[in-house]
Amino acid sequence: MKLFSYALAATLSFSGMALTGSASAAEITGAGATFPYPVYSKWAEAYRKETGTNINYQSIGSGGGIRQITAKTVDFGATDAPLKAEDLEKNGLSQFPTVMGGVVTIVNIEGLKSGELKLTGEIVADIYAGKITRWNDQKITALNSDVKLPDARITPLYRSDGSGTTNVFTTYLSQVSENWKNGPGVGTSVEWPVGQGGKGNEGVAALVKQVPNSIGYVEYAYAKQNGVPYASLQNKAGKFVKPEVKTFQAAAANADWSSTPGFGISLTNQAGDDAWPITAPTFILVHKKSDKPEQVAETVKFFTWAFDQGDKMADELDYVPLPAKVKEMVKAEWKTLNTAGTK
């Protein structure tokens, strides 16, 4: 299946129709994270062909998804930044993961291929803090003696919208850099010291392609689908690794999904020689006691189908399916939702 153009992700819906205010039993509305948009898109088209149910999803960023599900204007919200237990309780929400993926640093340096450039987390933090400003800075060239780097100013690019991808990225930067932790810090949006913003993963990927000598951060599928080179990163074990399914899986290998309400764990900067340091799950939010139980039931049916039949499609887009035991934990959580009067 050919994916929808990411540049249109914010305005297109999976059924080819615009989002409307109300939904029928054969239509589910959702909004939020751009991180999982490629895999949700692929699942939704296959599900529509099999069941006739349309999944209308607006790729507007995690912040928008949280706002819309809290306001009850959609059937489900999507976020890469998991809500804390108190926020879930306050808003009557249930949260569950769907897949895992990796955030990657992408670059536009003439002649550079994916994986050739080596960076550490501290260097990335210093670039985004405006402390390292040129590609031939000694800290970068010391790691890359076999790579020709230009004497050119670096343009850092970031998400201009409220973003779970930004939350994951800044969580990682705060773990590897005390200066970042004590400066811009962690959030779905932060005060960026330097650079310029783009909307959505698709916007940042497009900007990096357009701006010479730039660096940005996106979900791996967007880098791959857009053909934008990514950097190798040094992980917690001191190894330089590339983003791929096995390194995402390595980061999740020892995760304790039951340790946090709503499965809201972090997979950034995990131990292990093969672990990709900016790995993350992505999450769905639904109301526990919705006044539209039939829509909650339809949402659960869709994600049940995705858990049971969507792993191969996720693999093809370089997302990592949830472990079987985690899927069973999520399915148990779904039994606590209000789906009264539905089958």
User: Residue 246: which residues within 8 A CB-CB, separation 6 or more?
Assistant: 274
**Residues 6, 225: contact at Cβ < 8 Å?**
yes
Query: Within this chain, do residues 209 and 80 fall inside the same structural domain, yes or no?
Result: no
| DSSP secondary structure letters along 49-104 | HHH--EEEEEE--HHHHHHHHHTTSSSEEEESSPPPHHHHHHHTEEEEEEEEEEEE
Q: What angle do CA 121, 231, 146 make, to 5 degrees?
A: 105
Q: Does residue 51 belong to any structural domain of this protein?
A: yes
The C-alpha atoms of residue 57 and residue 281 are separated, in whole angstroms, by: 19
Question: Do 178 and 227 fall into the same domain?
Answer: yes
One-letter amino acid for residue 139 of the chain? K
Q: Please state, in angstroms and as integers, the Cα–Cα distance from residue 63 to each residue in 60, 126, 189, 213, 236, following that order.
A: 8, 26, 9, 29, 29
What is the C-alpha separation between 150 and 311, in angstroms, rounded? 41
For residues 36 and 65, give the distance between their C-alpha atoms in angstroms, rounded to a whole number: 12
One domain, residues 32 and 148: no
Q: Pick from 87, 49, 45: which is nearest to 57 by CA?
A: 45
**Residue 269 falls within a domain, yes or no?**
no
Question: For residue 113, which of 193, 204, 231 has the smallest C-alpha distance?
Answer: 231
Establish if 311 belongs to a structural domain: yes
E-assigned strands of the chain? 27-32, 54-59, 76-79, 93-107, 118-119, 155-159, 196-198, 214-219, 232-234, 240-241, 267-268, 278-287, 320-321
Whether residues 108 and 176 share a domain: the answer is yes
Single-letter amino acid, residue 11: T
Shared domain for 92 and 127, answered yes or no, is no
Q: What local confidence, expressed as pLDDT, does residue 341 receive?
A: 52
* 108 and 248 belong to one structural domain: yes
Residue 271 in domain: no
Co-location of 150 and 171 in the same domain: yes
- How many CB atoms sit inside 10 A of residue 150's CB? 15
Same domain, 140 and 225: yes
Domain membership flag for residue 267: no
Closest among 37, 88, 38 to 66, alpha carbons compared: 88
User: Looking at residue 3, what DSSP letter applies?
Assistant: P
Q: Which of 239, 254, 269 is the last residue of a domain?
A: 254
Tell me which of 254, 270, 301 is where a domain ends. 254
Q: Provide the CATH number for the domain around residue 175.
A: 3.40.190.10
From first to last of the 343 residues of the chain, give the pLDDT tens digit. 333 333 333 334 444 333 333 344 479 999 999 999 999 999 999 999 999 999 999 999 999 999 999 999 999 999 999 999 999 999 999 999 999 999 999 999 999 999 999 999 999 999 999 999 999 999 999 999 999 999 999 999 999 998 999 999 999 999 999 999 999 999 999 999 999 999 999 999 999 999 999 999 999 999 998 999 999 999 999 999 999 999 999 999 888 898 899 999 999 999 999 999 999 999 999 999 988 999 999 999 999 999 999 999 999 998 999 999 999 999 999 999 988 655 4
Residue where a domain stops, chosen among 186, 220, 254: 254
Helix (H) or strand (E) holding 200: helix 200-210
Structural domains counted in the chain: 2
In a shared domain, residues 141 and 180: yes
Q: Do 309 and 217 share a domain, yes or no?
A: no
C-alpha 308/C-alpha 326 separation (Å) is 13
Total number of residues shown for the chain? 343
Q: Is 279 helix (H, G, I), strand (E, B) or coil?
A: strand
Give the C-alpha separation, 130 to 137, whole Å. 12
Strand, coil or helix: what is 183? Answer: coil
219 and 148 belong to one structural domain: yes
Q: Are residues 156 and 218 in the same domain?
A: yes
| Sequence-ordered list of residues with C-beta below 8 angstroms from that of 111, at least 6 positions apart, any chain | 148
pTM (predicted TM-score): 0.86
Q: Is residue 84 part of a domain?
A: yes
Q: Which domain holds residue 91?
A: 6-100+280-334
Whether 273 maps to a domain, the answer reads no
- Whether 261 maps to a domain, the answer reads no
